[in-house]
Every structure is written in structure tokens, then in C-alpha cells.
Amino acid sequence: MLASCRLDGALVCTPNHTHVAISKELLNGGVHVLCEKPISVDIASGQELIDCAKASGRHLIGHHRRFNRYVVAAKNALPSLGKIVAVSGLWTIYKPPEYFNPPLEWHRLDSAGPILINLIHEADLLQYWFGPIVRVFAEKAASQRGFAAEEGAAMTLRFATGIVGTFVLSDAVVSLHNFESGTGENPTIPQEGRDSYRIFGSESRLSFPDMTMWTYEGKRSWTERLAFQAIDVPDMKIPFELQIRHFVRVIKGEEAPCCSGRDGLRAVAVCEAVKRSILEGLPVDIPVDDR
């Protein structure tokens, strides 16, 4: 196609370990690229792709949740919480056996476990809300399937701002606590409305995506009652449609990528640190690189 016709843009939605090679070929051919998350399966190859795209500015990473109406509402509500101190998150669900059967057997690979398939979303979302994660410590969840891919982990997080957090990840448990079940974003997963994040501030506490804010009725004290209010969630088109519209404007030079290659690599760095922490049994620091 590169040799026979003029292409304006391409979506790279192939297995994770092929993202870098395909994206580089397209970028070198003068094509704008929307690369599905993750940008890469490791930091080194992701940096190669960023360097390839740097001159053209033709690179957008497919972290579509930035266009989700619940995510937008939560980001707008964060200043109302006062000084944010801590966050607790969950992505817990059960993937059935057919998820790992041909032609999807690549999901069994180490590069396609829930850390790089699902936690990558959460890493981008958390950093979109709160800034860079600079340290993680992780414990691997017990394996039931016996594949190379992990099945989950429990982790602690520290952000550059001083915020601390916890996160539990598993794709092999019975649970309603995950982004998709709460937001209804994936039409194949029933929307049950359970929370997947609780954000704790000095003035208020917000649960997501049920979008409930809790604040003391009187003075701030554990002896006082808490009142709650529902946060308005704006009507918006589905995130993938908004992402494609944004991609078109990026191609036309009307907008800068809302999720750059650097943003995408920060999410990969968190996932890579989680994997390393599991192997070493130690906390892992993540440098903040703003090149």
C-alpha cells in the first residue's frame, strides 16, 4: 500500500509485540500513525519508535479512555477534593478460556498478560489524573491457567506529587470492580455500576465511576456526618469515535496529539517496573523523563 497509493493515516491494532516495527514502517513511509496501546512491550523499543516519530509529529497513542466522559468528569472534579493524598484502584474480572484460544493464542504470551493489556490503561489513566508514577512495588497473583502470561498482581504506587496508592489487578477472578463494568464502555461487558477507584482528598472523597463525592456536613472530623452528592457526567460520543476525530485533526495539523508517544511510554515504564518488582521482590523507582 505504501508503494501504490497515498495514505494519510493508519491504525496499528496488531498484537502488542508488533506495534513498534509496523508503526516505524508506516512513519518512515510518511503516514500518520494511531498506535493502539501499549506503544511497545518495553522501554527501549518504545524509545526507538518515539525517536522515529519525533521529526514528523505524526504519532498518537491509543489510550482512548482520555476521551471517556466519566474520566473527563473525574478530572474536572479533582480540584474539589482539596489536596489529594491517596488513591485506591481495582481492575478485577474473569476472562473466559476462549479469550486465549486461536486466533487469540498470543494472549498467552508474557507480552500479553493483564499488565500490558489492562494495567497499561490504568497506568495512563492514573498519570493523566495525578501526574507521573515514580515508584512501584508489586506482588504477583497466583496462577491458575499455567500460561506464560501473568494473571494479576497487587501493588503500591508513589506519584511525583507525593500521592500514594494501591492497585489490585486480576483477569481470573469473579468481580464487578473494573473500568468496563462501571462505565459501560465495552458493550460486551454488562454495566453494573460498581466503583473501581476511590480518590481521597483533604476536603472530599470521590468514587469512580459511580461519581459520588463525600464531604463533611460541618467541620472536618471523624465525629461528623458525611454528606454525598452525585457529580454530573457530560454527554459525549463514544471514546473511540472521539479519538478518531482527534486523529483526523492531528493529521490536518489542527491539534497536537492528546496522548503522545512520551505519554504512552510513561505507561509502559510503569508496567515494566511492575514486572521487574515481581521478579526482584523489591520496590522499583521510575525516572521521570520529559525529553
pLDDT given for residue 1 in this prediction = 84
Q: Quick check: is 178 in a domain?
A: yes
| For residue 291, pLDDT beyond 60 | no
| For residue 290, pLDDT beyond 70 | no
Closest alpha carbon to 75 in 11, 124, 108, 28: 124
Q: Quick check: is 27 in a domain?
A: no
Q: Quick check: is 179 in a domain?
A: yes
Owning domain of residue 162: 69-230
Q: Flag the least confident range among 33-42, 63-72, 86-95, 108-117.
A: 108-117
| Residue 170: band (very low, low, confident or very high) from pLDDT cuts 50, 70, 90 | very high
Q: Quick check: is 167 in a domain?
A: yes
CATH number of the domain where residue 186 is located: 3.30.360.10
Q: Quick check: is 16 in a domain?
A: no
pLDDT given for residue 163 in this prediction = 98
Taking residues 15-37, report their average pLDDT. Answer: 93
Q: Quick check: is 267 in a domain?
A: no
Q: Quick check: is 32 in a domain?
A: no
What is the per-residue pLDDT across 253-272, written as a single tens digit (0 to 9) for each?
A: 999 999 999 999 999 999 99
Sign of CA dihedral 109, 110, 111, 116: positive
Q: Quick check: is 264 in a domain?
A: no
Number of structural domains the chain divides into: 1
What is the per-residue pLDDT across 184-224, written as a single tens digit (0 to 9) for each?
A: 999 999 998 789 999 999 999 999 999 999 999 989 999 99
